[in-house]
């Protein structure tokens, strides 16, 4: 997005504070956002917690510091709110890897499968899906599906592969990847481990299996933060987008957090280029002008909401690992109408 405004002499923080009150706005931010955006947000969280906040808020405006699929999720769940995204170009490589027409054809070719779909996808793909999952809810939700249920999992083949290995369930995988988590280097990670003997590795399941094989903990961004808090040692190697380290350093100033490296030996190649598009200046403009605004056609929104509602109710269920409980969740596959 081209910004033609001049911000010279503006106290952006104070202006954002003023507009937040004037607009009755809530600022939601993902852990991968720049520290200054995380610091002024009303709530910082992982994809599931951000969805829940977006659904529950009584604000009139949601300013979403994250990527477009997250802001669209907020709009699907809270259609009466104005949802602004500081930069509308903040997409996601996983979303890009799953064009809706190709996904629809894939579904049609496997009519006996349901679609369990990672939240990192377009609204159109959500509308073609039966149940959405986030990295923090995927195992809980999968455990509620009958073992004989055939399942398509997309768009992240790494998260899908991790779920297959962890649960022993067979999933038909869509071949999408996150460019950020694909960029970690196993060789450099092994060097870093050797330099920090005994330091555990916490990794996001969007990482490929060669990285996850070295991890002591695999989980969502919130899960990684909880692991960092609970671990007895002082040093943690973090294999996910490095802006999460800001929250770790704030909450645990006495511990030492090292971003896992890419092939060049440092963690800067693992900064998400889409998340990085959001800035203080763009947030200020978004709150001032209430644009760029997320708009979703109502029929599409209603279809997409079904799979998100299924996620929200199933994510709250307390089901043990692999324990289907007495009444497994029977999903009737969505049809193409």
Alpha-carbon distance values, 16 to 13, 145, 253 (Å): 5, 44, 28
Are 29 and 65 spatial neighbours (Cβ–Cβ below 8 Å)? yes
Stretch that binds ligand 13P, among 35-43, 130-138, 143-151, 313-321 (CB under 6 A): 130-138
Identify which of 7, 89, 21 has the alpha carbon closest to the alpha carbon of residue 278: 89
**Could you give the CA distance from residue 71 to residue 63 in angstroms, rounded to a whole number?**
8
CA–CA separation, 218 vs 200, rounded Å?
A: 11
From residue 60 to residue 79, the character string flagging contacts with ligand SF4 as x (rule: CB under 6 A) and all else as - is: -------x------------
Q: How far is residue 312's CA from residue 78's CA, in Å, rounded to a whole number? A: 14
> Alpha-carbon Rg of the chain, whole angstroms?
20
* Partner whose footprint covers residue 179, from ligand SF4, ligand 13P, none (CB < 5 to 8 Å by kind): ligand SF4
By CB under 6 A, residue 180 contacts ligand SF4: yes
Q: Does the annotation flag 30 for ligand binding?
A: yes
Looking only at residues 84 through 123 of this chain, which bind ligand 13P when binding is defined by CB under 6 A?
A: 120
Using alpha carbons, list the distances in angstroms from residue 182 to 89, 160, 223: 21, 14, 20
Among 33, 38, 47, 117, binds ligand 13P (CB under 6 A): 47
End-to-end CA distance of the chain: 35
Q: Which of positions 182-211 make contact with ligand 13P (CB under 6 A)?
A: 204, 206
Stretch 253-312 residues interacting with ligand SF4 (CB under 6 A): 272, 274-275
In the complex with ligand SF4, which residue's Cβ is closer, 95 or 130?
95
What is the distance between the alpha carbons of residues 234 and 214, in angstroms, rounded to a whole number? 18
Is 47 annotated as ligand-binding? yes
The number of residues that bind ligand 13P (CB under 6 A) is: 11
The region of 11-19, 97-105, 133-141, 329-337 touching ligand 13P under the rule CB under 6 A is 133-141
Euclidean distance between CA atoms 290 and 20, whole angstroms: 11
Pick the closer one to ligand SF4 by CB: 143 or 248. 248
Q: Establish whether 118 is an annotated binding residue.
A: yes
The answer to the question of residue 278 lying near ligand 13P (CB under 6 A) is no
Find the shortest distance in angstroms from Cβ 124 to ligand SF4. 17
Q: Cα separations (Å) of 15 from 2, 12, 81, 176, 184?
A: 20, 5, 21, 40, 38
The encoded tokens of residue 289 equal: 């002008």
Identify the residue among 220, 270, 278, 307 touching ligand 13P (CB under 6 A). Answer: 220
Residues at the interface with ligand SF4 (CB under 6 A): 32, 67, 92-94, 120, 178-180, 206, 241, 272, 274-275
Residues at the interface with ligand 13P (CB under 6 A): 32, 46-47, 120, 134-136, 204, 206, 220-221
**Which residues line the annotated binding site for [4Fe-4S] cluster?**
92, 178, 272
């Amino acid at each position: 997005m081209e910004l033609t405004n001049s911000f010279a002499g503006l106290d952006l923080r104070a202006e954002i504070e003023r507009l937040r009150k004037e607009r009755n706005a809530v600022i939601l931010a993902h852990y991968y956002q720049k520290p200054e955006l995380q610091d002024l947000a009303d709530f910082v969280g992982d994809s599931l917690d951000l969805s829940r906040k977006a659904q529950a808020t009584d604000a009139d405006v949601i300013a979403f510091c994250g990527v477009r699929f997250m802001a669209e999720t907020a709009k699907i769940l809270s259609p009466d709110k104005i949802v602004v995204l500081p930069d509308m170009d903040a997409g996601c490589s996983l979303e890009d890897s799953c064009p809706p027409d190709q996904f629809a054809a894939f579904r049609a070719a496997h009519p006996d499968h349901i679609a369990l779909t990672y939240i990192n996808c377009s609204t159109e793909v959500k509308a073609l899906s039966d149940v959405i999952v986030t990295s923090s809810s995927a195992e809980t939700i999968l455990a509620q599906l009958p073992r004989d249920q055939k399942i398509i999992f997309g768009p992240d083949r790494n998260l899908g592969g991790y779920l297959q290995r962890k649960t022993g369930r067979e999933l038909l995988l869509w071949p999408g990847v996150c460019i950020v988590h694909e960029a970690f280097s196993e060789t450099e990670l092994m060097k870093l481990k050797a330099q920090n003997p005994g330091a555990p590795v916490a990794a996001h399941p969007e990482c490929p299996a060669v990285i996850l094989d070295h991890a002591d903990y695999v989980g969502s961004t919130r899960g990684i933060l909880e692991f960092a808090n609970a671990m007895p040692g002082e040093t943690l190697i973090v294999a996910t987008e490095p802006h999460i380290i800001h929250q770790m350093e704030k909450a645990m100033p006495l511990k030492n957090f090292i971003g896992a490296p890419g092939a060049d030996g440092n963690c800067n190649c693992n900064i998400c280029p889409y998340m990085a598009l959001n800035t203080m200046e763009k947030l200020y403009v978004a709150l001032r002008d209430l644009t760029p605004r997320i708009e979703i056609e109502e029929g599409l929104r209603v279809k997409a909401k079904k799979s998100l509602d299924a996620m929200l109710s199933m994510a709250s269920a307390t089901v043990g690992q692999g324990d289907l409980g007495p009444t497994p969740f029977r999903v009737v596959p969505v049809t193409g109408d």
